[in-house]
Structure 1
Amino acid sequence: MQVAELINTIEEIAPLEAAAPWDISGLQVAALRHEVSSIAVCLDPTPHSIRQSFDLGAQFILSHHPLTLKPSLPTKLDAYHEVLRLLLRADVPLYAAHTSLDVNPRGPAGWLATDLKLDNLTVLEPVSPPDADGHILGYGLAGDLPHPQTVEHIIRALESILDLSTATLSGPPPGKIHRLAYCTGSGSSLLAAAHKAGAQLFITGDVKYHTALDAEIPLLDVGHHSLEEEMMRRMCHVLQQRAHGVAVHFVPSASPFRTVALS
């Protein structure tokens, strides 16, 4: 498959023109090669993920997070330098679908709404007017559950998919949940929008102390890694269906946060 064709396929799912102005979605590291037969998909372009990708024979790497949001000269022998060294030596391009993927609720960013069978969906922070089919690009989704559920029931459902070892619950005591909202990654700034959309529970990551203290609805912080790791796993499945004739591999990762276990 041509590299340009593959990038076009990615951008049909993660429209680059809809990425946030502060973001650096798109090609991160260019390469001389024009064709690829194997792709790796990962959450973070760390040296470990890059090496795992090479072990799988990857000739193109798609990550969610950019290599850096503040490009700089590789003057230090750090992870940034090592990733550049590995990619350039192997002549393997790196592409990041960051907020360009986050804003498409019809793509992998909508996976949790699909799994929980949410209906009557509302985008929390639109970034585009409705298209001809009425679809809107934007961050976060709110939707109605098939039937009212307790937060404990919802957490049990999430446990079968996500690592909730560092999850926390804040805000007022939850009752029965009819409608919930979520945003992958660090989405606590959308808490007010979730409340306005009628959500009785908001699921996201990276919740700060005062946000939790002032929350008007129950707030389930599952961590930055959890929802996005699964989103990229789903992105891998989408590419397996669309990138014909190319092997597509998922490179799993672990959250950098660990629970404290005292003996």
Structure 2
Amino acid sequence: MNANSVLSCIRALAPEAFAADWDNSRVQIRGERDEIKKLAVALDPTPALMGDCLAWGADLVLTHHPLYFKPQAPTAPGQHLDVLRLFLSAGAWLYAAHTSLDCRPEGPAFWLGRALGLENCATIEPCATFPAREVFFQAPARFTECEARPLLDTPGVHALSQSAAGEVRVVADENAWPQVAEELSRVFAGKSIDYYVRRLESPVASVGFGQVGDLPQALPFEAFAALLEGALFGVQQPCAITPRALSSGGGPKGLAWSECGPAAGSIRRVAYTTGSGGSLIPAAFAAGADVFICGDVKHHAAMETPGLVLDVGHFILEEEMMRLFSQELQASLGHAAEVRFFAGRSPFRFRVLA
């Protein structure tokens, strides 16, 4: 499959417009290969893991974490330079879908909420808004019902009409417009169209970090902890995870979660985010959460939290997210390219002391 087509597919599932302004969700290393037959998906762009992806024959590697946030000169020894050497010698592409994936509504970043069966879900911290667009143009020909139906069924399209004089009016979410424009180009066989576009005050779509929602019924904390353990450690990952197996050895065996904040007797409203989440603690409890699940909570955030926080680790939340994303990419690409998820390795291990 053409490299630009594969990148378009990735961007449709993790729109770069959703990314935070401090982030680097985009092409990290431009490859030389025009055709993508193998797409590797992984969490971290570590030299060892990237070496495995390229040894498999990946033409393009997609990671969650970027290789860099700010441009770096390839002058200092370390992982950045090692990864550059691997990709430049192989001629392969490296792409990062970071906060562009974290913020996609209903995307794989929200897998935990689905696993817990949360209802009435809402975003914890909106980070970007996208006003709808109203688009007018004079169509080269009249729409048929068969041509109009795919446009009306496109997610984010609110209205579509054509006047007797042939003027077409489309109301669509801003992030849906590129797909709509591509479909219109197909319908009118690539004929030149002059669009007149204006932004509307309403409706406005928003995306953001984390999610809060309600369990079907309140649970005592220990029952909720058992439910969460099943959701976290029961996922079918290639790196076999065994709950409660704490050891000083490496790999995914070393698993535990830490708890901070006041204890909760029962849990009904649950907030969570994949990856780091300390900065979202105030917003999570302002949204009425009884518990907040995340990774990488720092000391002072733990000291000041107004509610119960479970730090289950950055790795396990995002590793599962990327495994699910690889499946979504394969479904989207079909037989045009082979997608393979490469399991990572948590940088943490635990030692049990007397």
- Scaled by the length of structure 2, what TM-score is found? 0.71
| Aligned sequence identity (%) | 43
Residue of structure 2 equivalent to 1:227: 317
- Residue type of the alignment partner of 2:110: G
Residue of structure 1 equivalent to 2:290: 200
Residue of structure 2 equivalent to 1:128: 129
Q: 1:152 to 1:129 in 2, by over 3 A?
A: farther
> Is 1:184 aligned to residue 185 of structure 2?
no
Q: What is the alpha-carbon distance in structure 1 between the residues aligned to residue 65 and residue 268 of structure 2?
A: 33
Is the Cα–Cα contact under 8 Å of residues 56 and 249 in structure 1 kept in the other structure? no
Residue of structure 2 equivalent to 1:239: 329
Distance apart, 1:68 and its partner CA: 1.1
Q: 1:71 to 1:129 in 2, by over 3 A?
A: closer
Residue of structure 1 equivalent to 2:63: 63
Residue of structure 1 equivalent to 2:168: none
For structure 2, which runs of at least 5 residues remain unmatched after alignment? 133-155, 159-202, 234-240, 244-254
> Is 1:256 aligned to residue 347 of structure 2?
yes
Distance apart, 1:57 and its partner CA: 2.2
Distance apart, 1:113 and its partner CA: 1.1
Distance apart, 1:262 and its partner CA: 4.7
5 Å matches for 1:72-111? 72-111=72-111
Q: 1:262 to 1:171 in 2, by over 3 A?
A: closer
* Aligned alpha-carbon RMSD (Å): 1.8
Q: 1:75 to 1:169 in 2, by over 3 A?
A: same
Distance apart, 1:185 and its partner CA: 0.8
Residue of structure 2 equivalent to 1:32: 32
The DSSP-based 3-state class of the residue aligned with 1:44 is coil
5 Å matches for 1:10-29? 10-29=10-29
The DSSP-based 3-state class of the residue aligned with 1:148 is strand
The DSSP-based 3-state class of the residue aligned with 1:137 is strand
Per-residue Cα deviation, 1:107-146 (whole angstroms, up to 9, x for no partner): 1111111111111011011122576578631110000111
Is the Cα–Cα contact under 8 Å of residues 215 and 269 in structure 2 kept in the other structure? yes
Q: 1:130 to 1:181 in 2, by over 3 A?
A: farther
Q: What is the alpha-carbon distance in structure 2 between the residues aligned to residue 47 and residue 20 of structure 1?
A: 26
The DSSP-based 3-state class of the residue aligned with 1:33 is coil
Is the Cα–Cα contact under 8 Å of residues 109 and 321 in structure 2 kept in the other structure? yes
Distance apart, 1:12 and its partner CA: 1.2
Q: 1:20 to 1:111 in 2, by over 3 A?
A: same
Per-residue Cα deviation, 1:36-67 (whole angstroms, up to 9, x for no partner): 11111000000111111123221110000000
- Higher share of residues assigned strand: 2
- Scaled by the length of structure 1, what TM-score is found? 0.94
- Residue type of the alignment partner of 1:251: F
For structure 1, which runs of at least 5 residues remain unmatched after alignment? none
Q: What is the alpha-carbon distance in structure 1 between the residues aligned to residue 108 and residue 339 of structure 2?
A: 16
Is the Cα–Cα contact under 8 Å of residues 151 and 175 in structure 1 kept in the other structure? yes
Q: What is the alpha-carbon distance in structure 1 between the residues aligned to residue 220 and residue 35 of structure 2?
A: 50
Is the Cα–Cα contact under 8 Å of residues 41 and 339 in structure 2 kept in the other structure? yes
* Rg larger for: 2
Per-residue Cα deviation, 1:192-246 (whole angstroms, up to 9, x for no partner): 1111111100001110111111111100001111211111011011011111221
Is the Cα–Cα contact under 8 Å of residues 116 and 228 in structure 2 kept in the other structure? no
The DSSP-based 3-state class of the residue aligned with 1:249 is strand
Q: What is the alpha-carbon distance in structure 2 between the residues aligned to residue 150 and residue 224 of structure 1?
A: 25
